[in-house]
Chains A and B, each alone.
Chain A
Amino acid sequence: MSETDIGVWGVLIAVLGGAIRVGTPFLFVSLGECLTEKSGRVNLGLEGNLVMGAMSAYAISYYTGSPWLGVLGAGCSGLILGLIHGLLCQNPKVNHIAVGIALMIFGTGLAFFLGKPFIQPTAPHLPAVSLGFWSDSPVLRAALEINALFFVGLALVPAIYFMLKNTKWGLMIRVVGESADAARALGYRIQLIRLLTTMAGGFLAAIGGAYLSLYYPGSWNEGLSSGQGLMAVALVIFARWNPIYCLYASLLFGAAAALGPALQAVGISWGYYLFNAAPYFLTLMIMIMTSSAKQNLAGMPGEFTR
């Protein structure tokens, strides 16, 4: 094997590992947003949930010594932010986009305020599963070190898909998202359903945040999130409101984000910052390619087109 062979393989494996490592928070946030949007409401505040979740998880893990309690605590913080969003949006003439932006700023601000004491200490991390035990290549082993939360996310994908397609609650969520008129005729409680999906979405997004502070990058600081919460909203559009596509899209975004570090690891250092911008560039390209002034997107919940 020549030097370059190892280099190419190394980059590929590092990108694959990175896709999973960096893509996991995208997966949680996009699944959450997908669930919320299926009911006909957009929660732009998930960036706030993500940062707040990261802070809560880190703090709780630090105090209790249990990262899993941290994850649960993060989820609860997301539930509360989702509850605020849902309750505010129940008032007539309240714009869900504006509420989302307000809560994004509120969530990040609150997390920074409450999180000051946790920047220095070290909290216990979430465990990872080593799938690279069979190999003696350290690159491969590092790449196949996969966090337990990813498997949780992986299990959630078919679960949410099944829930939306084959259960009463999924059908109700879709009806509310497709046509509020129809939902009203069926006697569904539209506001309640949207409140619950917003809370569930907030829960998942905050778990994405817990992953950031408790595994990768694995510490709490104010620059922890690089806009994953907002990018995930674009990602849901790209994924056509389908949880299974959310998984693929998250991995794609993760791979894009892992490109820069992977290239640097094999000694290609030029354009490091350029490659680091890949996910943002990808977001922009996706928005341009999927948007049209003239036509609706396939798969878009009907309530967004009126």
Chain B
Amino acid sequence: MHSSGISTGEAVLDAFNITKKFGELTALDGVTIRLKPGSIHALLGENGAGKSTLVKCIMGYYNPDEGQILVDGKEQSINQPKDAAALGIGMVYQHFTVINNMTVLENIVLARPALPSFIDWKKEAEVVSKKMQTMPFQFELDKQVSSLSAGEKQKLEIIKQLMLNIRVLILDEPTSVLTPNEADEILQEVKKLSQNNGLAVLIITHKFREVMGFADTVTVLRKGAFVGSQTVAETNPEILSEMMMGEGLDLPPLERDATQVNSNQAKLSLKNLSILDNDGLIAVDDLSLQIYPGEIVGIAGVSGNGQSELTAGLGGQRALKNGVIEVDGQTFSPVRRDLQKHRYFVLPEEPLKNACVGNMSVADNMALRNFDLAPNSWFNSFLNFSAIKRESKKLITAFNVKTPGPDEVISNLSGGNVQRAVLARELSQQVNVLVIANPCFGLDFKAVSDIRNLIMEARNEGAAVLLISEDLDEVLQLSDRFYVMSKGKVVLESKPNDVDLTEIGKAMAGHMEAAA
């Protein structure tokens, strides 16, 4: 009777008028989507638009405050992920849920809702490999998952769900860690599956390219509200981006000063760097590059190819196994004295975790670089708290950090504002060298635009900037020239103007030997 008045058509899943509140905040406000068998539906929106909340309501992680979920036109109460699985709804999460220390077979078997008490692995292997022959991706069953690439893990996540005979497949940002080629391959196969088997697919994404290339219909959310739903055939990226961002959002364009590299002296020079990962294996392999003043050098690549180890090594968070870092021709080691002397600044990825003390205030966090210098301290020994607070207030205004005040605990700030606060700290003085990793990951358009402008400003003022990013578009937008990193080596050097996307994709996937 709740469903009276809703025409369900041939939809397999309807989420009707879903509202979800967290305290004061309305994360989702009367959103409706409808998934049909044999078609791919894209859910588009910025971070914080409510995409994940909606999906979590469907999967039973959250109980919506209002609205109904209908499967085959019948209202269902889904209270936990198990209930969703029982209804034939499967989801692939943004972060891998495959287990590295287990084999492919174990990972596939454990996804089953009802496991037998005793597991006969030989028999399971036969059953699984027989069924896998009908599927788009093939695996060696006894392979350890930790040895798979990111793309293979994503395929395994999908296979895991397909093995459960699902009718609805939800993919949450399925391509965020993949090369463009891998992403295309996987989405192509998903599309085929959907067309041939009548699978209903919901893809959460913020990439227009994927919406235009693979989806049949698209729903746009903004700030928790439903903006519109369209067939992809009658829309285009301009319409979608307007729907996503709303009107009146006027972002300043990036202003890149004319190239001014006129120095023969590299500002930052990495010579034969090798760095080990947590398992003691080579993560950065004999890497050398130079960055000149007033230049942004990008490093693109799929995550897990040594980028985080490189950032940690350059930021002093991980020991170098081999090699030398030079700043202005002098040997540099990332200790406090050298960092201050060379005005060398680092913005690591996930700054709340890697560059902040979460329980300390915004003011204290902003002073981490210079609390022992005047005016923040007397005689470089005794902290001057009023000065620290005063300085931080200046930075909060200058960098537009949204915080209740300098005394607020920094972990209470939103991701974009933590990023702004850390950038404020790193860019508050004259910058000589700047190393940044994934600066815009998970931020909204406004924050992304602000942060990219700040980085560009540092470059325009003559700093050498190393930008390590998994977002290829970001690298192409910001860099003066860039490298592709694969398996710990830089394998391709290119400039954003003359990029060849196929070449880059090949290099990212590791199908290219080190450039001579």
Which A positions have Cβ atoms within 8 angstroms of B?
Answer: 166-169, 171-172, 174-175, 178-179, 181-182, 184-187, 292, 294-296, 298-299, 301-302, 305
Inter-chain contact A166/B118, CB cutoff 8 Å: yes
CB-nearest residue of chain A relative to B319? A294
A182 with B98, Cβ < 8 A, contacts A292-B280, A294-B278, A295-B277 known:
yes
Q: Mark B84-116, 1 if CB is under 8 A from A, else 0.
A: 010000010101011111100010011101011
A182 with B99, Cβ < 8 A, contacts A171-B106, A175-B110, A187-B80 known:
yes
Inter-chain contact A167/B117, CB cutoff 8 Å: yes
| Sampled A-B contacts (19; CB under 8 Å) | A167-B118, A168-B115, A171-B106, A171-B109, A171-B110, A171-B115, A171-B119, A174-B99, A179-B97, A181-B93, A182-B99, A187-B80, A294-B276, A294-B319, A295-B280, A296-B278, A299-B101, A302-B99, A302-B100
A181 with B97, Cβ < 8 A, contacts A294-B280, A296-B278, A305-B278 known:
yes
Known: A171-B119, A295-B278. 20 other contacts (CB 8 A): A167-B117, A168-B116, A168-B117, A168-B118, A168-B119, A169-B117, A171-B109, A171-B110, A172-B115, A175-B99, A175-B110, A179-B99, A181-B95, A182-B99, A185-B81, A186-B111, A187-B81, A187-B113, A296-B279, A301-B101
Inter-chain contact B111/A167, CB cutoff 8 Å: no
Contacts of A296 in B (CB 8 A): 278-279
Contacts of B80 in A (CB 8 A): 187
Among A169, A295, A299, the most chain B Cβ lie within 10 Å of the Cβ of A295
CB-nearest residue of chain A relative to B318? A294
Contacts of A305 in B (CB 8 A): 278
Q: Is B506 close to A, CB under 8 A?
A: no
Q: Is B121 close to A, CB under 8 A?
A: yes
Inter-chain contact B99/A186, CB cutoff 8 Å: no
Inter-chain contact A166/B102, CB cutoff 8 Å: no
Q: Is B82 close to A, CB under 8 A?
A: yes
Contacts of A187 in B (CB 8 A): 80-82, 85, 113
Partner pick for B276 among A171, A295, A301, CB 8 A cutoff = A295
Tell me the minimal C-beta distance from A197 to chain B in angstroms. Answer: 17
Tell me the minimal C-beta distance from B80 to chain A in angstroms. Answer: 5
Tell me the minimal C-beta distance from B312 to chain A in angstroms. Answer: 11
Number of B residues with CB within 8 Å of any CB on chain A = 32
Tell me the minimal C-beta distance from B511 to chain A in angstroms. Answer: 29
Inter-chain contact B280/A185, CB cutoff 8 Å: no
Tell me the minimal C-beta distance from A202 to chain B in angstroms. Answer: 24
Contacts of B85 in A (CB 8 A): 187
Inter-chain contact A185/B119, CB cutoff 8 Å: no
A178 with B278, Cβ < 8 A, contacts A166-B119, A167-B118 known:
no
Contacts of B279 in A (CB 8 A): 295-296, 298
Inter-chain contact A178/B100, CB cutoff 8 Å: yes
Inter-chain contact B118/A185, CB cutoff 8 Å: no
Tell me the minimal C-beta distance from A160 to chain B in angstroms. Answer: 15
Tell me the minimal C-beta distance from B113 to chain A in angstroms. Answer: 8
**In the bound complex, what is the Cα–Cα distance between A186 and B86 (angstroms)?**
12
Inter-chain contact A174/B102, CB cutoff 8 Å: yes
**In the bound complex, what is the Cα–Cα distance between A185 and B85 (angstroms)?**
10
**In the bound complex, what is the Cα–Cα distance between A296 and B277 (angstroms)?**
9
Inter-chain contact A178/B119, CB cutoff 8 Å: no
**In the bound complex, what is the Cα–Cα distance between A301 and B106 (angstroms)?**
15
**In the bound complex, what is the Cα–Cα distance between A197 and B278 (angstroms)?**
28
CB-nearest residue of chain B relative to A184? B81
Tell me the minimal C-beta distance from A211 to chain B in angstroms. Answer: 30
**In the bound complex, what is the Cα–Cα distance between A182 and B109 (angstroms)?**
13
A185 with B97, Cβ < 8 A, contacts A167-B117, A167-B119, A171-B119 known:
yes
CB-nearest residue of chain B relative to A175? B110
CB-nearest residue of chain B relative to A162? B118
CB-nearest residue of chain A relative to B92? A185
CB-nearest residue of chain A relative to B106? A171
Tell me the minimal C-beta distance from B337 to chain A in angstroms. Answer: 22
**In the bound complex, what is the Cα–Cα distance between A243 and B255 (angstroms)?**
62
CB-nearest residue of chain B relative to A298? B279
**In the bound complex, what is the Cα–Cα distance between A182 and B156 (angstroms)?**
14
Among B82, B85, B98, B99, the most chain A Cβ lie within 10 Å of the Cβ of B99
Contacts of B82 in A (CB 8 A): 186-187
Tell me the minimal C-beta distance from A304 to chain B in angstroms. Answer: 11
CB-nearest residue of chain A relative to B82? A187
Contacts of A302 in B (CB 8 A): 99-101
The 4 residue pairs across chains A and B that have the minimum distance between CB atoms: A187-B82, A182-B97, A295-B280, A168-B115
Tell me the minimal C-beta distance from B196 to chain A in angstroms. Answer: 27
**In the bound complex, what is the Cα–Cα distance between A182 and B116 (angstroms)?**
19
Inter-chain contact B280/A186, CB cutoff 8 Å: no
**In the bound complex, what is the Cα–Cα distance between A166 and B123 (angstroms)?**
12
**In the bound complex, what is the Cα–Cα distance between A179 and B106 (angstroms)?**
14
**In the bound complex, what is the Cα–Cα distance between A171 and B110 (angstroms)?**
7
**In the bound complex, what is the Cα–Cα distance between A296 and B78 (angstroms)?**
39
**In the bound complex, what is the Cα–Cα distance between A168 and B9 (angstroms)?**
41
Partner pick for B121 among A166, A185, A298, CB 8 A cutoff = A166
CB-nearest residue of chain A relative to B280? A295
Tell me the minimal C-beta distance from A88 to chain B in angstroms. Answer: 23
**In the bound complex, what is the Cα–Cα distance between A295 and B318 (angstroms)?**
11
Partner pick for A185 among B93, B101, B318, B319, CB 8 A cutoff = B93
Contacts of B120 in A (CB 8 A): 166
Tell me the minimal C-beta distance from B161 to chain A in angstroms. Answer: 11
Tell me the minimal C-beta distance from B111 to chain A in angstroms. Answer: 7
Tell me the minimal C-beta distance from A241 to chain B in angstroms. Answer: 10
**In the bound complex, what is the Cα–Cα distance between A86 and B55 (angstroms)?**
32
**In the bound complex, what is the Cα–Cα distance between A10 and B308 (angstroms)?**
57
Inter-chain contact B101/A178, CB cutoff 8 Å: yes
Contacts of B121 in A (CB 8 A): 166
**In the bound complex, what is the Cα–Cα distance between A294 and B278 (angstroms)?**
6
**In the bound complex, what is the Cα–Cα distance between A171 and B106 (angstroms)?**
8
CB-nearest residue of chain B relative to A300? B101
CB-nearest residue of chain A relative to B100? A302
Q: Mark B271-306, 1 if CB is under 8 A from A, else 0.
A: 000001111100000000000000000000000000
CB-nearest residue of chain A relative to B321? A294
Contacts of A182 in B (CB 8 A): 97-99
Tell me the minimal C-beta distance from A163 to chain B in angstroms. Answer: 10
Tell me the minimal C-beta distance from B118 to chain A in angstroms. Answer: 5
Contacts of A178 in B (CB 8 A): 99-102
Tell me the minimal C-beta distance from B344 to chain A in angstroms. Answer: 23
Q: Mark B20-51, 1 if CB is under 8 A from A, else 0.
A: 00000000000000000000000000000000
**In the bound complex, what is the Cα–Cα distance between A166 and B124 (angstroms)?**
11
Tell me the minimal C-beta distance from A165 to chain B in angstroms. Answer: 8
Tell me the minimal C-beta distance from B121 to chain A in angstroms. Answer: 7
Q: Mark B253-281, 1 if CB is under 8 A from A, else 0.
A: 00000000000000000000000111110
**In the bound complex, what is the Cα–Cα distance between A27 and B153 (angstroms)?**
37
CB-nearest residue of chain B relative to A299? B101
Contacts of B81 in A (CB 8 A): 184-187
Contacts of B119 in A (CB 8 A): 166-168, 171
Tell me the minimal C-beta distance from B205 to chain A in angstroms. Answer: 20
Contacts of B95 in A (CB 8 A): 181
**For residues 41 through 89 of chain B, which have their beta carbon under 8 Å from a beta carbon of chain A?**
80-82, 85
Partner pick for A186 among B106, B110, B276, CB 8 A cutoff = B110
CB-nearest residue of chain A relative to B277? A295
**In the bound complex, what is the Cα–Cα distance between A295 and B80 (angstroms)?**
37
Contacts of B91 in A (CB 8 A): 185
**In the bound complex, what is the Cα–Cα distance between A171 and B119 (angstroms)?**
9
